[in-house]
Structure 1
Amino acid sequence: MKLKSVKEMLKRLCLAVFIVAALSCQADPRVNIVVSVNDLKPDMQQSVVAKSLVELIENFHYQKVVVDDAFSSIVFDEYLKALDGGKSYFLQSDIADFEKFRLTMDDDVRSGDLSVPFYIFNVYQKRYNDRVNFALKEIEKKFNFTSNDTYTYDREKLPWLKSESESNSLWSKRIKYEMLNLRITGTEEAKIKETLKNRYENLISQSTKFNQQDVFQIFMNSFTGTVDPHTSYFVPNRAQEFNEDLARTFEGIGASLQLDNEVVKIAAIIPGGPAFKSKAIHANDRIIAVAQGKDGEFVDVIGWRLDVTVTKIKGPKGTIVRLKVIPAGQELSSTPKIVELVRDKVVLEDQSAKKIIKTVNSGGKSYKIGIIQLPAFYADFKAMQAGDPNYKSTTRDVKLLLDTLKQEKVDAVVLDLRSNGGGSLPEAISLTGLFIKSGPVVQVRDRRNKIEVSEDEDESIAWTGPLGVFLDRFSASASEIFAGAIQDYGRGIVIGNQSYGKGTVQQGIDMSRVISTTDKLMLKGAQTVNTKGSQSDAKRANPTRTNAPEFGQINLTMAKFYRVNGSSTQHKGVVPDIEFPTVFPKDKYGESSEPRALPWDTISPSQFNPVASLDEVKRKLIALHQERMKTSVGFKDLQEGIAEFAKREAETSITLNEAQLKKERDEQEAKSLLRENEKRAAKGLAPLKKGETKPKEDIDFIRDEGLQIIADFIQIK
């Protein structure tokens, strides 16, 4: 049910595809490109997983998928797009050579042969390496910034590059554009070259950390994405990341880490975790070595992949990890301090439900409205199954927040589900139950057309007062189930934008459950026999976190959601009672923009008893809202923002003339400053001056007008 599955995974992975130079070469007999003998290759476990995935998809997917030549053709295109969606690396000759594989990928994956996707990746590796090295040479070039050249940065709809000379021209313009961006900010030429040189050298450095698991993940994203947008496979480490995100908990020291010039830096300390309680490490400190237990030897982690270092630092609750830390502001050559921490369960409170209270004036009266901001529908299933009475869940957290809001005597409650991509289906059902007495919440139809109705059976109600729900284009899945039920029952007012439209159900399947005992024994035997390379090198190349699924996990689409009124949330999502215009067009954002999304349809409605009929109330609310919008500065700004966004979306190139680019940027900044100051004036805030940093003030037009609508709702009721 997670929205951020295939698409977001592709983004993160593709940004990481930085490839190292080849050391020696040989020719593949099937193609004309020469590739490195050191190139990455699939392993036996990936072969077994790939075969098992085909069986799972064909036998259990909701749509009864057939993995055939037509399927293979789509996988082929998706894989090339995943590697080089901007068409900046591959040449037309590469694509022509790859065409012989277009209709064979289905047969290869079915048999566990992954040589073709790895081969294509390795050709990409060579092209990428060539381009980065070319870019480094171009940085030393003297450019003319008075010419009227343009740089086409969006090449998605253009043909593949015809030749190396055409590629050189494109990349020369790319470097010129990056230099120009720094020039118009007033950066000196020497500093510009230093910045760009460091940038591209860092890309090469990061490329050395790429491994076979990354290649397998990218290809399997393309393979499962051909089935539907939300069926997705995760290699072991990414499966654990997904499950921790869903649980909003993990076991470790409680620190967010990032890589900064080959060194792991602490980006933030998570409140309540071991690092926070120790007060021994802080944001911007750097970790240079890690040791396990009180007596384990320190392992230097400078230059390691970030995920490998994270694997060393995370671990089971109650175990000890020791860190060599260079405090922020000190040189790396300084004597490190040694910090010993006992790992514990860490709760991500900043990613959990939280509340704020706003006072709204309407009709001469003041109303206190409690807003519960809910970023996802989460649940710590592992802790729940273990009988932990304090396990983390959306419903439990919201229930506690509602109790405090009642004590503070709020007049209404709003659940803000904007950008909430979904999560746990049981949590969507139980959360709905906090606001209705009992009854059906959602219907689920499986591949055999069997319909199951999920109900709230708890007759207690946590909040009986006026209720609102905020949605936007990125509210999806569980958010749509909750909002749809509230709307169908007439329990509250839904406000915002039409939601994403993800009405499919995914089940997370640990691949170890479906891989045969014979294959497991074969893999175990192969690992025992294969003694080449050191064990530590192997672990660094393919790290596996504690408790990560050994063979990864597939989230397989196995059913569809339907509202209690019988309408699918697929494609159409939930249309708010009071709808705002949105900057995100439906043909580019949302389920309806996905070419392989399942269709919208309906089934028979459930038997349910609405709380109230709000049709007349909604008509009055819409009239009051529309009247306010006639003179609303915020609404005018929203409409201007939509027009500006559409204009930017349509652009694919940019001028490389310094004077022209600076003029365009200055005009854009002046326009943005004017719009910002109009909004600030309407809120009674002081105007900003040119170049002044924008304060972190609470300006949110959609929320503020939504609260005004809720205040109207209170009065009308």
Structure 2
Amino acid sequence: MLGRLSFVFFTAAVLACQAAPPKTQPVVEGIKNIKPDIQQQFVMKEVVGLIENYNYKRIKINDSVSSIILDQYIKSLDQGKNYFLSSDIKEFEKYRYELDDDFKNGDLSAPFFIYNTYAKRLNERLDYAIVQAKADVKFGQNDTYVYDRSKMPWPASTAELNDTWKRRVKYELINLNLAGSVPAKSVETVSKNYQDLKTQIGKINNQDVFQMLMDAFTASLDPHTNYFNASNAASFNEEMSRSIVGIGALLMIENEVPKIVSVVPGGPAAKGKQLSPGDRIVAVAQGDAPFVSIVGWRLDVSITKIKGAKGTKVRLKVIPDGKELSSEPVIIELIRDKVIQEAQSAQKSVKTVKSNGKDYKVGVIYVPAFYLDFDAARAGDKNFKSTTRDVKRLIDTLKNQDKVDGIVMDLRGNGGGALLEAVSLAGLFIDKGPIVQVKNLSGKTRVESLSGDELSWTGPLGVIVDRSSASSSEIFTGVIQDYDRGIVMGSQTYGKGTVQSVIDLNRLVNPEVLKKMAAIINQNDTTKEKGANPAAVNLGQINLTMDKYYRITGSSTQHKGVNPDITFPSRYQMDKIGESSQPSALSWDVINSATFQPLGNLAAVKAELVKRSEKRVAESLYFKFFKQNLAEAKKRSNERSVTLNEAKIKKERDDQEAENFTRRNELRVYRGLPVLKKGDKATKDDSFDFIEDESVKVMADFMGLSLANKKV
């Protein structure tokens, strides 16, 4: 890696971010202005160089890119158009075609000025909200609150913003009242939430601002190229290499609200099946203590609230994916735990299902991630842990003890992992031949192949995927499909067909440069007490997209993912989740096919399986309600406002709750379970995996057809 990036191994002469002195940063009156330091200026220059020379797209940071970066940065600060005035946006226009040159020179004055303007506007809004919470509010009026202003013009005046925030505060008070709070307590809670947020904003420093800028900068170019400052890099590496103490979920900030990007296999969130990608967390409570709103908080502070000691209880108020932000939050209770490698292991279950009058036993293997203990493997530990080893052991048990007729690999929610594991796992079902092609930024392609090891399973095979199946999951699924080795079921996968390399920026810089930089930083640091140890320079790290995956047919998994042979409705909105939803994502393309021989000819079988599955899905009450929920969620996603009449809101929520209760009982009757009475809590019986159930039925049909009984 270092050899490939030798162009950035500097001599001391390069330290001159001072070669082109930064412009004077405009001062924002009325607040403490945050300014960048020399280290951040230096990092920006080097990140620009890395991206221009070593990102797979070889992106040139020019005027057109500068324009995209400006829009992305402003959007990241104020996505909902709740703070900036149109006059602010007009003032920022002077930077539209300057950021490219500024960043190459390490000049960060413009983005820091924009942030300081944002901080001023934010504090103005919070001060207004605190006062407004204590004002006389009328809850019976038929006015509305536009909670999503992202597609509206920027507010033209403070008066226009005041009107929006007056309605916002009123809506928050209504939500608390409907949750059982007395009006006086609601006022106290809303006021405290905004005061807490004001306190959190006051703690933001130049490292936080620089990270926000770099997030917006890299997101403008590539969704998987990311910069991490020293503290974020440490957290990232700790979570990747060891364990996560908390609920086991990856978060991002969207429209001021922490949003779940992915759920970590083996963690409390995954085990409880209560949280999903796209869900938004609006408040947190420690144990049985009162809830604290985290809307508008810094991501790291929000995460600190959610994390905690192992075994402790945390309660979350969550707006489920597909519900508008105005919806009543769902309260979820979790017990914090360590998310460890062992908890992410593959697991099996056995299902018995009938097809054409015959019972078939189907083994389902759930694979949450493509894991591999690299350290143990390198150390020569014969018992090192890996996905392939665990799955092979499970197959042996299913084959020799459970005597299954077919196997289904469940890769739903599997976001990928080690490429080597995708290749070796395929080797349990395919004896030899190419598995995946990898093209680097120089245009050279290598083929990862199998040499002919002993197969673990030669019988009927199925794979279940969904929109959150990504990367290595797509490699495995794609090659099973390309060889016609089995049946792929579910929904279109994520579409991540790129490979990232982790680059420690300190390793690319001459140590003498780092020493001189540290001396300058320590000399200018007025926060240190005299005699304190000088701080060492840590430039952070960048995850840089440098390679791209291709299926053995030559088709990229990038953007398009893998389309199943048998498609089920997806709970995810495809235009909001997945690579194709990212404007800066690499496009789909095709290279030459690798040389391979399909192992089967399942076209006729697949056509029959599709026909049978579609008939069952059309008759299934679960799929009927599921499709209705999807349609309702899509409709709600286009809504931008909500009534501020408390009685109307209460009726809407009561009606929705009654409908949900009725549906739950209809589904229980459908499955032969006793109905619930009002006030009864849902039971484990209410959790029914109808996607898995239909997939197992497809496998039974597969085995029941004459062609499927032939070994492939």
TM-score, normalized by length of structure 2? 0.79
Q: Is 1:705 aligned with 2:699?
A: no
**Does the 8 A contact of 2:26 with 2:113 survive in 1?**
no
Aligned position for 2:662: 674
Secondary structure of the corresponding residue to residue 187 of structure 1: coil
Find the aligned partners of 1:447 and 1:239 in 2 and give their Cα distance: 25
Which aligned pairs between 1:242-253 and structure 2 lie closer than 5 A? 242-247=236-241, 249-250=242-243
Deviation of 1:500 (Å): 1.6
Find the aligned partners of 1:671 and 1:537 in 2 and give their Cα distance: 68
**Residues 583 and 538 of structure 1: CA distance in aligned 2, closer, same or farther (over 3 Å):** farther
1:398 to 382, 391, 394: 391
Deviation of 1:578 (Å): 0.3
Secondary structure of the corresponding residue to residue 630 of structure 1: helix
Deviation of 1:663 (Å): 2.2
Structure 2: which amino acid aligns with 1:560? K
Q: Is 1:34 aligned with 2:29?
A: yes
**Does the 8 A contact of 1:89 with 1:124 survive in 2?**
yes
Which aligned pairs between 1:347-426 and structure 2 lie closer than 5 A? 347-406=340-399, 407-426=401-420
Structure 2: which amino acid aligns with 1:204? K
Secondary structure of the corresponding residue to residue 362 of structure 2: strand
Secondary structure of the corresponding residue to residue 617 of structure 1: helix
**Residues 29 and 219 of structure 1: CA distance in aligned 2, closer, same or farther (over 3 Å):** closer
Aligned position for 1:55: 49
**Residues 203 and 360 of structure 1: CA distance in aligned 2, closer, same or farther (over 3 Å):** farther
**Residues 346 and 479 of structure 1: CA distance in aligned 2, closer, same or farther (over 3 Å):** closer
Secondary structure of the corresponding residue to residue 693 of structure 1: coil
**Residues 578 and 164 of structure 1: CA distance in aligned 2, closer, same or farther (over 3 Å):** same
Deviation of 1:458 (Å): 5.4
**Does the 8 A contact of 2:37 with 2:521 survive in 1?**
no
**Residues 30 and 238 of structure 1: CA distance in aligned 2, closer, same or farther (over 3 Å):** closer
Find the aligned partners of 1:637 and 1:376 in 2 and give their Cα distance: 30
Find the aligned partners of 1:470 and 1:595 in 2 and give their Cα distance: 28
CA deviation profile, 1:518-547 (whole Å, cap 9, x unmatched): 4323223335545632379999xx9x9xxx
Aligned position for 2:514: 520
Find the aligned partners of 2:531 and 2:688 in 1 and give their Cα distance: 51
Aligned position for 1:203: 197
**Residues 256 and 708 of structure 1: CA distance in aligned 2, closer, same or farther (over 3 Å):** closer
Structure 2: which amino acid aligns with 1:604? N
**Does the 8 A contact of 1:443 with 1:562 survive in 2?**
yes
Deviation of 1:654 (Å): 0.5
Deviation of 1:494 (Å): 0.7
Find the aligned partners of 2:438 and 2:550 in 1 and give their Cα distance: 6
CA deviation profile, 1:108-166 (whole Å, cap 9, x unmatched): 21112222222212221122222222222222122112211111111111111211111
Equivalent residues, number: 616
**Residues 29 and 572 of structure 1: CA distance in aligned 2, closer, same or farther (over 3 Å):** closer
Which aligned pairs between 1:204-353 and structure 2 lie closer than 5 A? 204-247=198-241, 249-250=242-243, 347-353=340-346
**Residues 401 and 191 of structure 1: CA distance in aligned 2, closer, same or farther (over 3 Å):** farther
Find the aligned partners of 1:66 and 1:555 in 2 and give their Cα distance: 18
Residue ranges of structure 2 left out of the alignment (5+ in a row): 1-22, 250-263, 268-285, 290-299, 315-337
Aligned position for 1:564: 552
Find the aligned partners of 1:326 and 1:620 in 2 and give their Cα distance: 50
Find the aligned partners of 1:200 and 1:531 in 2 and give their Cα distance: 32
**Does the 8 A contact of 1:466 with 1:714 survive in 2?**
yes
Deviation of 1:67 (Å): 0.5
Q: Is 1:644 aligned with 2:637?
A: no
**Does the 8 A contact of 1:374 with 1:415 survive in 2?**
yes
User: Which shifted more, 433-442 or 519-528?
Assistant: 519-528
**Does the 8 A contact of 1:494 with 1:577 survive in 2?**
yes
Deviation of 1:181 (Å): 1.6
Deviation of 1:386 (Å): 4.6
**Residues 475 and 308 of structure 1: CA distance in aligned 2, closer, same or farther (over 3 Å):** closer
Find the aligned partners of 2:88 and 2:204 in 1 and give their Cα distance: 22
Deviation of 1:428 (Å): 1.7
**Residues 379 and 76 of structure 1: CA distance in aligned 2, closer, same or farther (over 3 Å):** farther
Find the aligned partners of 2:301 and 2:498 in 1 and give their Cα distance: 35
TM-score, normalized by length of structure 1? 0.79
**Does the 8 A contact of 1:583 with 1:646 survive in 2?**
no
CA deviation profile, 1:455-509 (whole Å, cap 9, x unmatched): 1335122333322111112222211111101111112111011112222222222
Structure 2: which amino acid aligns with 1:714? M
1:427 to 416, 421, 434: 421
Structure 2: which amino acid aligns with 1:93? S
Which aligned pairs between 1:537-686 and structure 2 lie closer than 5 A? 550-686=538-674
Which aligned pairs between 1:2-151 and structure 2 lie closer than 5 A? 33-37=28-32, 39-151=33-145
CA deviation profile, 1:403-458 (whole Å, cap 9, x unmatched): 44333333332222222222322222222222211221111122222111111335
C-alpha RMSD of the superposition:
3.5
Find the aligned partners of 2:42 and 2:194 in 1 and give their Cα distance: 37
**Does the 8 A contact of 1:470 with 1:495 survive in 2?**
yes
User: Which shifted more, 40-49 or 202-211?
Assistant: 202-211
**Does the 8 A contact of 1:246 with 1:379 survive in 2?**
no
Q: Determine what percentage of the aligned residue pairs are the same residue.
A: 48
Deviation of 1:32 (Å): 8.1
**Does the 8 A contact of 1:496 with 1:579 survive in 2?**
yes
Find the aligned partners of 2:341 and 2:538 in 1 and give their Cα distance: 25
**Does the 8 A contact of 1:52 with 1:514 survive in 2?**
no
User: Which shifted more, 486-495 or 182-191?
Assistant: 182-191
Deviation of 1:570 (Å): 1.7
**Does the 8 A contact of 2:430 with 2:455 survive in 1?**
yes
**Does the 8 A contact of 1:83 with 1:124 survive in 2?**
yes
Aligned position for 2:323: none
Deviation of 1:245 (Å): 4.2
**Residues 70 and 622 of structure 1: CA distance in aligned 2, closer, same or farther (over 3 Å):** same
Find the aligned partners of 1:327 and 1:458 in 2 and give their Cα distance: 49
Find the aligned partners of 1:480 and 1:257 in 2 and give their Cα distance: 23
Find the aligned partners of 1:206 and 1:257 in 2 and give their Cα distance: 24
Deviation of 1:47 (Å): 2.0
Find the aligned partners of 2:549 and 2:248 in 1 and give their Cα distance: 37
**Residues 600 and 256 of structure 1: CA distance in aligned 2, closer, same or farther (over 3 Å):** closer
Find the aligned partners of 2:179 and 2:102 in 1 and give their Cα distance: 52
Aligned position for 2:170: 176
**Residues 327 and 68 of structure 1: CA distance in aligned 2, closer, same or farther (over 3 Å):** closer
